[in-house]
Structure 1
């Protein structure tokens, strides 16, 4: 008689759904997906939910394999010794293997007044709470978006295109990931939409009140609606369960995404910290990580040695309202190139990416094992970084670099690393001429 293997996946986002679908490749594997919501959240559309152009949800029937059992509940504790997950509603679910894909959410802003008066939008519930507030506010009220990563830029553009008076407070650089040419393109589009962009020194938010935002340089901005998009945090389930985590709370794993504490626990997505060198939080990373985590579990079930992580990146895709966007191309090891596609073509690419993500998940549900982008090589750069990390001295000075940031990977500040990268890339491209231009390839958000 063939012995059945029970695999529990905690988290029904991009990584969790990909992993759950892929696990159904084997008929002797029972897959249970634990998720607090009955619908799949298309998270990269949450800014559209706030702006009123999309509901940012997809029915699980459209993306989840028929063989996956969906448990709508929250996991409150993992008992690794007993191989059981405790549920908020009561009871437990046992497992032979566990995939930890709890994702990420809003970080504690730790800025006076921010928790009380600012509105985060990292989760569906947060975006749904903000939507009626925006709808009820007169068009003339001042709206401030704090944080100039993709979410902040997209939210500012979405609201400005709807006729809102928007100020984007960067707290530093506009679009830190972007090449300076891409950044210039984004700044131009935001200006055309009427967004006031405050960047550079002194633009860190020091306090939020009911009707204002205070900056580090002493300025006080009127703000009847303040949207907070600065930073992400992860659920503390792993830490509460006694598992090893990094400083942010992500589950520490090896390069096969296996927990450093227990080979029966595998992580994927934003909540994973492989080799203390986590990938950029994004669905572009989460979906391949979900596939890799599933392959690790399937390899162990088959008595085979799991493959190690070697992820490739294409760039970063940002919508700038419904009529414009940007796709910022990057080296496959996730550093931006000079080349980008903006304007209307950029918007079309972004929409294709959003639809393509759902299609990836749906295709894997229908034909488990069909997804293969996680096998595309990211090159030797990650191995070089790992070797460098093992040989480097501990961080010193007033502020140690945080894992997952460019500063952590290179030992330099984001501003310094960006400037040096831009000069080096431009010099190399000038020397190479047309031979240095990147070839087009498939993209994800």
Structure 2
């Protein structure tokens, strides 16, 4: 009887769960998923948690294969030479292969007063802390959402839908969107009563307990300030002496293998393949997770791993509970002039949110039965030109 191959997956988000489930294709692989929480977090619903319309939690039994052991803890260090990780409780776990899928969170705002007075919303605990603060705010109290990307737009719309007085401040409203899609979002936000401040002068330069200061000198009253501008990644890889890009993502080749160690593979927001990382998104994570697992399984089988392939369909936004927008994109992640808005857009966004959980559950029951990605030929050309 051969010994089992020990594989640790760090991070129980979209990429980590997909990777862990795909790894169960081999009976001689022991898979352990290390995650700080005992439940799966639907990060794409955290704005709903803040607005009080969803708890954004899913039981791991719905999405995680019975063949995966869940370890509820936090990894504090990776020792690549010893092939081991140290947990917060002091325990050491050894591995033959490691999947690094720690995800992303709020970036350091580096704006005076933001860390002390603004509330991030990128993680479960962030949204849970914010919810009672919003509940306690007086009716009509001004709420400022900083950052006009997808998280900021969805948060502003969700809170305005509950009757809050919301201002959204950022350089560009929906920077990913095609101008047609951007105009559609702007109209919906106006219908909800959201005041949108964009352009260079709308950059936030300081935050206090009751104000937000903009670059052009304006000072906005703000009882609750929510920070959605930018994402960062945990510094675990850097602290462990592994090569990372400037944002802290683990540097890998196109098979998602660490440039430092063939036993370490990355997936999701925390991966930087060929220093051309994909957009931080659930869409990319759902594709990279199983492909990271495929790289590990190929190495176990003594085969050459295939390069990862990620294709995009677009970006989906909820604009309150009654409207949404699906921005159609090319596989290269470039927005087109096509979009679906209004109630159909809201219906499609909800269908996608539910469909992602269905995909995770399907993978847990039928690992490897389906692939969820498409080829991006532009990336191949970019790599060839280097």
With the shorter chain as reference, the TM-score category is over 0.9
Contact kept, 8 Å, 2:202 with 2:214, in 1: the verdict is yes
- Please state whether the residue corresponding to 2:246 is helix, strand or coil: coil
Give the Å deviation of 1:138.
1.6
Where do 1:43-442 residues align within 5 Å?
43-170=43-170, 172-374=171-373, 376-378=374-376, 380-388=377-385, 390=386
Contact kept, 8 Å, 2:286 with 2:372, in 1: the verdict is no
Instruction: Give the Cα–Cα distance (whole angstroms) in 1 for the partners of residues 382 and 202 of structure 2.
Output: 32
- Give CA deviations for 1:222-260 in whole Å, capped at 9, x if unaligned: 001000000001000000000000000000000000000
- Give CA deviations for 1:291-320 in whole Å, capped at 9, x if unaligned: 110000001111111110221100000000
Instruction: Give the Cα–Cα distance (whole angstroms) in 2 for the partners of residues 218 and 386 of structure 1.
Output: 44
Give the Å deviation of 1:4.
1.1
Give the Å deviation of 1:342.
0.3
Give the Å deviation of 1:3.
2.9
Instruction: Give the Cα–Cα distance (whole angstroms) in 1 for the partners of residues 3 and 119 of structure 2.
Output: 49
Gapped regions of structure 2 (runs ≥ 5)? none
Instruction: Give the Cα–Cα distance (whole angstroms) in 1 for the partners of residues 104 and 145 of structure 2.
Output: 20
Query: How many matched pairs?
Result: 386
Contact kept, 8 Å, 2:316 with 2:324, in 1: the verdict is yes
TM-score, normalising length: structure 1: 0.86
Is the aligned partner of 1:37 residue 2:34?
Answer: no
Please provide the CA RMSD for this pair. Answer: 0.7
TM-score, normalising length: structure 2: 0.99
- Please state whether the residue corresponding to 1:119 is helix, strand or coil: strand
Give the Å deviation of 1:124.
0.2
- Please state whether the residue corresponding to 1:202 is helix, strand or coil: helix
Instruction: Give the Cα–Cα distance (whole angstroms) in 2 for the partners of residues 353 and 193 of structure 1.
Output: 23
Instruction: Give the Cα–Cα distance (whole angstroms) in 2 for the partners of residues 176 and 222 of structure 1.
Output: 26
Which position in structure 2 is the counterpart of 1:428? Answer: none
Instruction: Give the Cα–Cα distance (whole angstroms) in 2 for the partners of residues 261 and 232 of structure 1.
Output: 25
Contact kept, 8 Å, 1:39 with 1:59, in 2: the verdict is yes
Contact kept, 8 Å, 2:167 with 2:196, in 1: the verdict is yes
Instruction: Give the Cα–Cα distance (whole angstroms) in 1 for the partners of residues 64 and 349 of structure 2.
Output: 23
Instruction: Give the Cα–Cα distance (whole angstroms) in 1 for the partners of residues 308 and 67 of structure 2.
Output: 27
Give the Å deviation of 1:7.
0.3
Contact kept, 8 Å, 2:268 with 2:289, in 1: the verdict is yes
- Give CA deviations for 1:350-369 in whole Å, capped at 9, x if unaligned: 00000000011100001111
4+ long deviations beyond 4 Å: none
Instruction: Give the Cα–Cα distance (whole angstroms) in 2 for the partners of residues 217 and 229 of structure 1.
Output: 20
- Please state whether the residue corresponding to 2:220 is helix, strand or coil: strand
Give the Å deviation of 1:42.
0.4
Give the Å deviation of 1:91.
1.0
Instruction: Give the Cα–Cα distance (whole angstroms) in 2 for the partners of residues 52 and 166 of structure 1.
Output: 16
- Please state whether the residue corresponding to 1:168 is helix, strand or coil: strand
Instruction: Give the Cα–Cα distance (whole angstroms) in 2 for the partners of residues 332 and 9 of structure 1.
Output: 28
Instruction: Give the Cα–Cα distance (whole angstroms) in 1 for the partners of residues 31 and 65 of structure 2.
Output: 10
- Give CA deviations for 1:383-429 in whole Å, capped at 9, x if unaligned: 122234x2xxxxxxxxxxxxxxxxxxxxxxxxxxxxxxxxxxxxxxx
Give the Å deviation of 1:90.
1.2
Instruction: Give the Cα–Cα distance (whole angstroms) in 2 for the partners of residues 386 and 28 of structure 1.
Output: 36
- Please state whether the residue corresponding to 2:212 is helix, strand or coil: strand
- Give CA deviations for 1:313-338 in whole Å, capped at 9, x if unaligned: 00000000000000000011100000
Contact kept, 8 Å, 1:360 with 1:371, in 2: the verdict is no
Gapped regions of structure 1 (runs ≥ 5)? 391-445
Which position in structure 2 is the counterpart of 1:401? Answer: none
Instruction: Give the Cα–Cα distance (whole angstroms) in 2 for the partners of residues 135 and 218 of structure 1.
Output: 30
- Please state whether the residue corresponding to 2:244 is helix, strand or coil: coil
- Give CA deviations for 1:180-214 in whole Å, capped at 9, x if unaligned: 00000000000000000001121110000000000
- Give CA deviations for 1:153-193 in whole Å, capped at 9, x if unaligned: 000000001000000001x1100000000000000000000
